Structure 1
């Protein structure tokens, strides 16, 4: 088992491709759907006004990228606060003791 401080230290690992671009792709798709819905409400062909579609998709991608960056900053600051608290109060976070499965599981008794 690892100590609580080791759990909070950042690790250098690669993010999966899907989670890297998920926010941008999702917001770009929502922008495309909004452009199609606006054309549908106006009783125009759904794909007419391609510049509107391109604009909304672009705004969605940029907005999604901005939200993902702000989210990463928020979680980095939060983890830094947690890490600092654990460093200041190590007595409140003792390292967990290793247990065997026999100590964790209760004996199995069939119910008939």
Structure 2
């Protein structure tokens, strides 16, 4: 492969660490940098709040109708969303730990990942032979 297309090891490590969850800098205006529990809480808060407002609108009530019970319900649903996000984060951490442990136990199965610059497409792609109905022979 041409040297102009190769990327340094330092750049590859930077890219790999950037895409892993929890390694990016947290920004309040960018929800993609939030942790899973906070994403879950924000989504469930928004959905439950919009649902409560639409329910009031559907029943032709003012937006402040039954605000105390609905606030308690929105808070409870937000807590459930936070718990679901924490459960998801725990699941991904466990999955990554299991995969890393397996890779440590069986390094011979993952030798092809060490070639970070890749292979040419001629070595990756299988040859394609078109088999079309108009070319078939019937004996």
Asked whether the two chains share a fold, i.e. TM above 0.5, the reply is: yes
The gaps in structure 2 that reach 5 residues or longer are 1-8, 122-139
2:105 is the alignment partner of 1:88: yes
Q: Which has the higher contact order (CA 8 A, sep 6+)?
A: 1
Partner of 1:52: 69
CA distance 1:15–1:69, shift in 2 (3 Å): farther
Give the drift of 1:22.
2.5
Please tell me whether Structure 1 or Structure 2 has the larger radius of gyration of its CA atoms: 2
For the aligned residues, what is the CA RMSD?
A: 3.2
CA distance 1:98–1:29, shift in 2 (3 Å): closer
- What is the CA–CA distance in structure 1 between the aligned matches of 2:83 and 2:51, rounded to whole Å? 19
Note if contact 2:39-2:85 (Cα within 8 Å) is conserved in structure 1: no
Give the drift of 1:37.
2.4
The gaps in structure 1 that reach 5 residues or longer are 106-112
Give the drift of 1:104.
4.9
- What is the CA–CA distance in structure 2 between the aligned matches of 1:85 and 1:47, rounded to whole Å? 55
Give the drift of 1:14.
5.6
CA distance 1:41–1:88, shift in 2 (3 Å): same
Aligned length: 99
- What is the CA–CA distance in structure 1 between the aligned matches of 2:52 and 2:99, rounded to whole Å? 42
- What is the CA–CA distance in structure 2 between the aligned matches of 1:96 and 1:64, rounded to whole Å? 41
2:83 is the alignment partner of 1:73: no
